[in-house]
Amino acid sequence: MENKDYLEDLKEIKNMMSKSSTFLSLSGLSGVLAGCYALIGALVAHLLIRDNDYIYITLESKTFQFLLIDALCILLASTITGIVLSHNKAKKNNENLWNATSIRLLTNFMVPLITGALLILLLLNEQVYGLVAPLSLIFYGLACFNASKYTFRDVRFLGITQIILGLIAVKFSGFGLYFWVLGFGLCHIFYGAMMWFKYERK
Amino acid sequence: MTMKNIIQNINKAFDHRIRLGIMSVLMVNESVDFNSMKEFLGVTDGNLASHIKALESDEFISVEKQFIGKKPNTKYSITPIGKKAFQDHIAALEKLLQSK
């Protein structure tokens, strides 16, 4: 057998190992857009809180309901954008969006995330409001970190950044919204743009 | 290691791209079902089945058949023998490339 064939064999082994264990159709551009949605959402939240004259917001108040709707809209828009853009990227790579690697990525992402979401809801029920921002950043960071084993390494650094921001945010209660802007807004735009430059721009 | 020894470790069982692919996938995944394997490798049913059979008869991979509802689901995983053989194969490939 020729030397070249051996080299090709080794390349094929490496390629199949990475293709079958990591989901590489995750779209960086969708991260940038998610960050933009978060910034818009934060602006809306800021205006809502200002209109409320910065009075303490209770769970039953109209303002809280609007804030909740605001947050859910961002979540929904980001998720849809992520799915659509990753679907397009997968199509280009001749992959299915739902395959063994993307399902594994999603499972590893969702377990820490849902744990965090439930914890936050339980704390809200106990009237603990101050930890919503830090905990959401920390658990989102853990979800990214956990999922990063099955996709681009950049997601790992996004996760670590969110965890650090979340921990700092504990010390600055009352500034939760600003930490959200930093974490969910600017970090997504930064890391999303980096991924886009590295893997998608052609 | 002499050249002859290296060549001995080049395993004829892995002398085909598809079999090489199957082993590579199973090295990094605990178990993989038939359809996922088909998608990773981009091959037809018949083609994949025949290569799987060859690797199975060499006892390099093991097969687990089960049912999800009424649908049959076949899962493949690498055996310790297969893992050892494939690692030796990769090492031999690397040595061959270095020696030239």
Contact state of B93 with A95 under an 8 Å Cβ cutoff: no
Residues on chain A touching B17 (C-beta within 8 angstroms): 9, 12
- Which residues in chain A land under pLDDT 70? 1-4, 54-57, 202
What is the per-residue DSSP string for chain A? --HHHHHHHHHHHHHHHHHHH------HHHHHHHHHHHHHHHHHHHHHHHHTTTPPPPTTSHHHHHHHHHHHHHHHHHHHHHHHHHHHHHHHTT--SSSHHHHHHHHHHHHHHHHHHHHHHHHHHTT--TTHHHHHHHHHHHHHHHHGGGS-THHHHHHHHHHHHHHHHHHSTT-HHHHHIIIIIIIHHHHHHHHIIIII--
Q: So where are chain A's domains?
A: 28-78+99-200
| pLDDT above 60 for B1 | no
Distance from CA of A97 to the nearest CA of B (A): 12
Contact state of B90 with A3 under an 8 Å Cβ cutoff: no
Contact state of A20 with B29 under an 8 Å Cβ cutoff: yes
Q: Check: CATH 1.20.970.10 for B3-99?
A: no
Asked if the C-beta of A79 comes within 8 angstroms of chain B's C-beta atoms, the answer is: no
User: pTM of the predicted model, to two decimals?
Assistant: 0.84
Please give the Cα distance from A24 to B81 (Å, whole number): 31
Q: Which DSSP symbol is given to B77? A: E
pLDDT: which is higher, A62 or B78: B78
Would you say the C-alpha torsion B83, B86, B88, B94 has a positive or negative sign?
negative
| pLDDT of the residue at A57 | 67
| pLDDT above 70 for B100 | no
| pLDDT of the residue at A128 | 85
8 Å CB contact between A156 and A148: yes
Quote the ipTM score: 0.85
Please give the Cα distance from A128 to A1 (Å, whole number): 69
Nearest to B28, CA basis, from B17, B16, B18, B37: B37
| pLDDT of the residue at A2 | 52
Which residues are CB-contacts of A200 (< 8 A; sequence separation ≥ 6)? A27, A28, A29, A89
Distance from CA of A1 to the nearest CA of B (A): 10
Nearest chain A residue to B12 by CA distance is A1
- Residue A152 tokens, joined: 């681009």
Mean per-residue pLDDT, B45-73: 91
Please give the Cα distance from A146 to A150 (Å, whole number): 8
Please give the Cα distance from B4 to B99 (Å, whole number): 12
Q: At B14, is the pLDDT very low, low, confident or very high (cuts 50, 70, 90)?
A: confident
Q: Which DSSP symbol is given to B17? A: H
Q: Among the residues of chain B, which ranges form H helices?
A: 3-9, 17-28, 34-41, 45-57, 80-99
End-to-end C-alpha distance for chain B, whole angstroms: 14
Asked if the C-beta of B29 comes within 8 angstroms of chain A's C-beta atoms, the answer is: yes
Contact state of B93 with A9 under an 8 Å Cβ cutoff: yes
Best interface-test mutation with B: which of A1, A8, A11, A13 has the largest number of B CBs within 10 A?
A: A13
